[in-house]
Structure 1
Amino acid sequence: MATIRLATFCILSLLWPAGVACAVDLVVVVNPGCSVMRLTRDDVINVYMGRLRKLPDGTPARPIDLLSSTGQEKQLFYQRLLSRDLAEVRAYWARLTFSGQASPPVQADSTEEVLTLVQRNPGGIGYVERSRADARVRVVFELGDK
């Protein structure tokens, strides 16, 4: 019986980080001075993939991305938004950058930096955990915790 409990505990311990990763509720935020109240999934995809350079209100879009090394939010963001992993996103941006068609989003070192950059730029757009979104930003799209 003790062996079964130990085995169950070991299996659950291995699965726990994956369960926590899935429970992260991500939202897309903009500068509160921006007149955009909601964005569609297509809007967010197009801004983050360099296809849309202005927000729906005409403000030049300034997407802010997290560095891959800052945690799992970036991987979750692209997985939930595009159903793609980071290697595919990097390859996409490498092609666009090499051809001179577009530049990737600004890279931020932390969620705090994302919030600060969005607050300071009228067209700032970023993604954060819902619990981190504060009065400096406005939520315009919800990625949830799929």
Structure 2
Amino acid sequence: MCARKPLMMLLLLLVIASYSSALKASNDFVVIANPQAGIDKMSKDEVINVYMGRNRKLTSGITAQPLDIATPLGEKANFYFVMVNKELSEISSYWARLLFSGQGSPPRQVSTAEQALEIVSTNKGAIAYIDRTKIDRRVKIIFDPARS
């Protein structure tokens, strides 16, 4: 029984270390839009409402087309954890219920941040979350969790 105690302590330390590193990376993303979308800023609640299907219009009146980066780990998991405090399994369940009831459809899935950048830069209604180091002149930041 005593041999298990050091193993349990080690596992606990690993969980704490991974959790603290996730917290450090939590605000490394920004939400971007096309410069022609007619919006300068969105609040956290407005971003959440678009991504959770509660509101499908941007404040400019353009139909919102939110993009999810399809990789289950990394940007997508971080975005939903920071924004709505939910794990990806909870988000999937949420969308399964809405799809089944015919009340909405989830954000469009893209493979990479580069693909998200390309779509946002050529589509006025598209918005996406990407790592802040990947933005370029084709898009503008409309929400920054580090500054909200």
Q: TM-score by structure 2 length? A: 0.82
Query: Residue 83 of structure 2 corresponds to which residue in structure 1?
Result: 81
For residues 118 and 80 of structure 1, the distance between their equivalents in structure 2, rounded to whole angstroms, comes to: 22
Q: Encode CA deviations 1:75-127: one digit per residue, 9 max, x unaligned.
A: 11000000111011000000001111111100000000111111121101000
Q: Encode CA deviations 1:22-58: one digit per residue, 9 max, x unaligned.
A: 3351100001111100000110000000011100010
Q: TM-score by structure 1 length? A: 0.83
> How far is the alpha carbon of 1:20 from its aligned partner?
6.6
Query: Residue 93 of structure 1 corresponds to which residue in structure 2?
Result: 95
Structure 2, unmatched stretches of 5+, are 1-12
**Aligned pair 1:120/2:122, yes or no?**
yes
**Aligned pair 1:62/2:60, yes or no?**
no
Determine helix, strand or coil for the equivalent of 1:19.
Answer: helix
**Aligned pair 1:30/2:33, yes or no?**
yes
AA of the residue aligned to 1:101: Q
Determine helix, strand or coil for the equivalent of 1:68.
Answer: coil
For residues 82 and 20 of structure 1, the distance between their equivalents in structure 2, rounded to whole angstroms, comes to: 15
Query: Residue 48 of structure 1 corresponds to which residue in structure 2?
Result: 51
For residues 60 and 77 of structure 1, the distance between their equivalents in structure 2, rounded to whole angstroms, comes to: 21
Identity %: 41
For residues 21 and 68 of structure 1, the distance between their equivalents in structure 2, rounded to whole angstroms, comes to: 19
104 and 81 in structure 1: CA distance in 2 versus 1, 3 angstrom threshold:
same
Query: Residue 140 of structure 2 corresponds to which residue in structure 1?
Result: 138
Aligned length: 133
17 and 134 in structure 1: CA distance in 2 versus 1, 3 angstrom threshold:
farther
Structure 1, unmatched stretches of 5+, are 1-10
